[in-house]
Homo-oligomer: A and B are copies of this chain.
């Protein structure tokens, strides 16, 4: 049995928790338990489900001081950031309570029996039903909002699915404490026991993806771990959907006109965005396309100056910091790459901000493909471009991404081509803004083309994230008493229905 250790990345101090890694057998038992209560949970009224989600928000808020304290010790993130993140996490549960009550995710549709050019059609009614038990992998970088009580857990519960969660090893105590808050809420609402479950350990994670009762996986993390687990999900005797939100370089383009208008403010803004949360955001702007002219020089000078004022920062774990240092060293060794801001990174989890620069010609050279990878942490690579044509070619060489940001100026020529390109290569297109804020809302898309996500038609943030955990079923000629209530003619739940093709 391997005990679980909680490490303070700032001091290196470690505490052994009264917890062990979950054995593959225990993982299977938890998923079987989840499976045994899946239909009970799915059949609870939508109003009850919404109340459960609100109760979870309340339990998290009630525990806020202790949760923030624990997370601070395990992640080295600031008090203010963690307080904000916990507010967001509670908000997220309430938001999904609203999504449940809105009920449009059910896509309820009723076609009464009719004649058609194909001949008579029977009574057909379609509804999206919960998939059953799903697995959620907590991320390292958001110990609340993308972890045990994160968006994947909230959206899966909103969809009507039991959730078995794999804790991220960088914050086991936070994972356990937040899990206990969710479970308290579930018990207080008399949810079926085992609706949420928690497992620890790498082997437990693999066993979870492979456990027969699991019907889908939500994952937020690295490209390497995500693609490994995605393959496992596909190699099962019964493959299951794997919704992986992986890394992304998040290109940010500054047009010549934008550099002319606001070099200093954009330079300062980029410095803040790329080092927010020690650069540990999926949406950190990691690739900066800046014109190679005097205005671009001024922007870079401001950016460099801002980064140099920063003191050493603490990453989420020494392992993550060590990976970051490798990334820095790799970039430093590529011919033609200039290291504009360099820091003495010290040891353990402590690192400084880094800034690199290349020409567009070197960036688009196939031999320099490592330049295109995300480096998780406070680092960005500037690509200096000569003109729009060079910009277009360099952008074309970059990988698709979660986001693509464009800063424009008052005198810009037509930007249609750039925004069309952005739309074809990213899940979120941003004008005159930084990508690091990811609001929870009806209109948020937090997914992008491969390799930034494994399933580009889905999102892990926002109302549409609930759709990942559902599967449509059509009921043909099924008598009223056996139909799900959402599909009955008298619509006792008052859910949105499309009736004979017309939305009601």
Contact = CB atoms under 8 A, between A and B. Distances in A.
A117 B104 contact: no
Closest 10 CB pairs of A and B: A445-B474, A126-B443, A124-B443, A121-B439, A111-B443, A430-B476, A109-B443, A428-B474, A91-B117, A88-B118
A429 B124 contact: no
Contact of A474 (B116, B121, B240, B444): B444
A232 to B, nearest CB: 12
Interface in A416-475: 416, 419-420, 423-424, 426-433, 437, 439-445, 447, 449-451, 454-457, 459, 462, 464, 467, 470-475
B98 A501 contact: yes
Contacts of A445: 126, 472-474
A471 B442 contact: no
Contact of A478 (B419, B439, B449): B419
B457 A241 contact: yes
A194 to B, nearest CB: 18
Nearest to A423: B473
B442 A126 contact: yes
A478 B431 contact: yes
Contact of A427 (B102, B455, B462, B474): B474
Contacts of A479: 431
Interface core residue of A121, A234, A439, A443 (most chain B CB under 10 Å): A443
A122 interface: yes
Given A423-B129, A443-B111, A87 B118 contact: yes
A419 B476 contact: no
A166 interface: no
Nearest to A481: B416
Nearest to A500: B442
A457 B91 CA distance: 28
A451 B90 CA distance: 38
Given A84-B119, A98-B501, A503-B104, A457 B482 contact: no
A125 interface: yes
Contact of A430 (B116, B451, B477): B477
Contacts of A189: none
A107 B445 CA distance: 12
A39 interface: yes
Contacts of A192: none
A428 B464 contact: no
Contacts of A107: 464
Contacts of A424: 39, 132
A325 interface: no
A439 B341 CA distance: 64
Nearest to A450: B238
Contacts of A132: 424
Interface in A44-99: 84, 87-88, 90-91, 98
Contacts of A451: 238
Given A431-B478, A464-B107, A117 B88 contact: yes
A124 to B, nearest CB: 4
Contact of A437 (B122, B431, B503): B122
Contacts of A476: 428-431, 433
A180 to B, nearest CB: 23
A122 B433 contact: yes
Contacts of A111: 439, 441-444
A351 interface: no
A442 B501 contact: yes
A415 interface: yes
Nearest to A405: B476
A496 B503 contact: yes
A239 interface: yes
A351 B238 CA distance: 33
Given A126-B442, A464-B126, A475 B429 contact: yes
Nearest to A125: B443
A482 B415 CA distance: 8
A271 interface: no
Contacts of A477: 430-433
A124 B503 contact: no
A488 interface: no
Interface string A303-335: 000000000000000000000000000000000
A208 to B, nearest CB: 18
A376 to B, nearest CB: 22
A470 B457 contact: yes
Contacts of A240: 450
A229 to B, nearest CB: 14
B472 A118 contact: no
